[in-house]
Structure 1
Amino acid sequence: MTGPLPNGTSFLQVEDLSRIYPSGEGIVTALSPFTHRFPAGLTAVVGPSGSGKSTLLNLLAGFDRPTTGRVLAGDTDLHRLSEAGRADFRLANYGFVFQNHNLVTILTALENVEFPLTLAGLPRRERRERALALLEEVGLGARASHLPAQLSGGEAQRVAIARALAHNPRVLLADEPTGNLDSHTGERVLALLTAQAREGRTVVLITHDREVAALADHTLRVRDGVVTVEE
């Protein structure tokens, strides 16, 4: 497990990053060339639907390949790795929280949190203790044996955050994690993410909510594939 970095340190950065797609009428510039260093803390990525926010997140995660430029995570250029190499690197360094929690429906809350630790090869006792501690941290220790269908939307999202933290990642990528939640539950989920940012993790959060963005340490605004930095 990797863990957060000291405040002021950057683990994630992009250099001349762009993504262009062919289309029937020529090309579509989903992301114009963009250079940025993501500091530890919470960075909100805001902009209208179709602006390029998800394209940026997919490139940061190594799910998509850039047309130009590179994504550096520490000393690693993600796109010089093989597909399997990127998957292994994500497992060791990244956590993900999605708008739809993406829990495995046939696994309990505890087993969902354990899942990335199982992939990482941790012994059963160690991963169970870690998963239980994380569920307690997000206030769901009493719900460990429940299946996702037995949880509320907010509870499922908190399980997803616990799962994202299972291997102590340096980077958390969150795509509209409060989008399907009521305001009170969304605030609780957001509080968990901001706490991780304060601990020195790099948290990149896509949001349409201005109130959520206002809580960020840094803001990137995306429009028509062009990213601007708002400090």
Structure 2
Amino acid sequence: MTVHPSAHPLTLRVQDLARVYPSGDGQVQALAPLTHTFAPGLTAVVGPSGSGKSTLLNLLAGFDTPTTGQVTVGGTTLTTLSEAARADFRLAHYGFVFQNHNLVGILSAQENVEFPLALAGRPPRERRERARELLALVGLERRAGHLPGQLSGGEAQRVAIARALVGNPEVLLADEPTGNLDTRTGERVLELLRGAAQAGRTVVLITHDRDIAAQADHHLNVRDGVVTPG
């Protein structure tokens, strides 16, 4: 499946990135200091539950702030921005795919895909045309008027990928996007993520499935908060 190329590829880098949480009388190191450049393409971050994968993803997205270190996307240091500025930056440069798709239940598939463009203030006609293009890309143009509750799990996840790609983001973060899907549907979702990576995006895929991870271009392992090359 063809995905539009990223208009302006940005380099995602972390420098001495770490996250420590208070715990009782002590501290828990959720992420040990990490310095890494995420190359364009698909990077799989692999590890068991509780290993620190989601902590890393939340820091990369700017949903959480590090105890030390920084996240840089292109020429912007995400960790120095205000919360509002980080939200604006995410809207302009990031796409997200979550395990449970996080679609808005009262909006149709078409409206869910349009939603990021509406937040960005794009004209209605442009939003409609772009959303239809993305739904066709994921093979769901005939399901555009259906609510999330009328879609299968795999269909809902493909709508979520269309929504993530609608703004042509440079960085795509995916948190266990195949975790609730059967093998065949999971492979189709992975194919879409690989297509996005091949179009020049930096795609970071969180997974505990090593068969899924084996299909990535780059690999990182996480255990007890320590990240090592795969």
Indicate the TM-score class for this superposition, using the shorter chain for normalisation: over 0.9
1:32-71 mapped onto 2 (5 Å cutoff): 32-71=32-71
Take 2:49 and 2:10, find their aligned partners in 1: how far apart are those partners?
28
1:5 and 1:40 in contact (8 A); partners too: no
> What letter is aligned with 1:4?
S
- Partner of 1:219, secondary structure, is strand
TM-score, with normalisation over the residues of structure 2? 0.96
CA offsets 1:117-151 (integer angstroms, 9 cap, x no match): 00000000011000000000000000000000000
1:19 and 1:30 in contact (8 A); partners too: yes
Equivalence for 1:12:
12
TM-score, with normalisation over the residues of structure 1? 0.96
1:10 and 1:38 in contact (8 A); partners too: no
1:205 aligns with 2:210: no
2:97 and 2:161 in contact (8 A); partners too: yes
1:179-194 mapped onto 2 (5 Å cutoff): 179-194=179-194
CA offsets 1:80-114 (integer angstroms, 9 cap, x no match): 11111000000000000000000000000000000
Question: Unaligned stretches of 5+ in structure 2?
Answer: none
Take 1:163 and 1:197, find their aligned partners in 2: how far apart are those partners?
16
1:1-231 mapped onto 2 (5 Å cutoff): 4=6, 11-230=11-230
Deviation at 1:5, TM superposition (A): 6.3
2:10 and 2:170 in contact (8 A); partners too: no
2:158 and 2:189 in contact (8 A); partners too: yes
Take 1:106 and 1:184, find their aligned partners in 2: how far apart are those partners?
28
- Partner of 1:102, secondary structure, is coil
Deviation at 1:4, TM superposition (A): 2.1
Take 1:52 and 1:147, find their aligned partners in 2: how far apart are those partners?
34
Percent identity for Structure 1 against Structure 2:
73
> What letter is aligned with 2:6?
P
Taking a change above 3 Å as real, the CA distance of residues 70 and 103 of structure 1, as seen in their structure-2 partners, is same
Deviation at 1:229, TM superposition (A): 1.1
Take 1:17 and 1:85, find their aligned partners in 2: how far apart are those partners?
20
CA offsets 1:43-97 (integer angstroms, 9 cap, x no match): 0000111010000000000000001100001111111111110000000000000
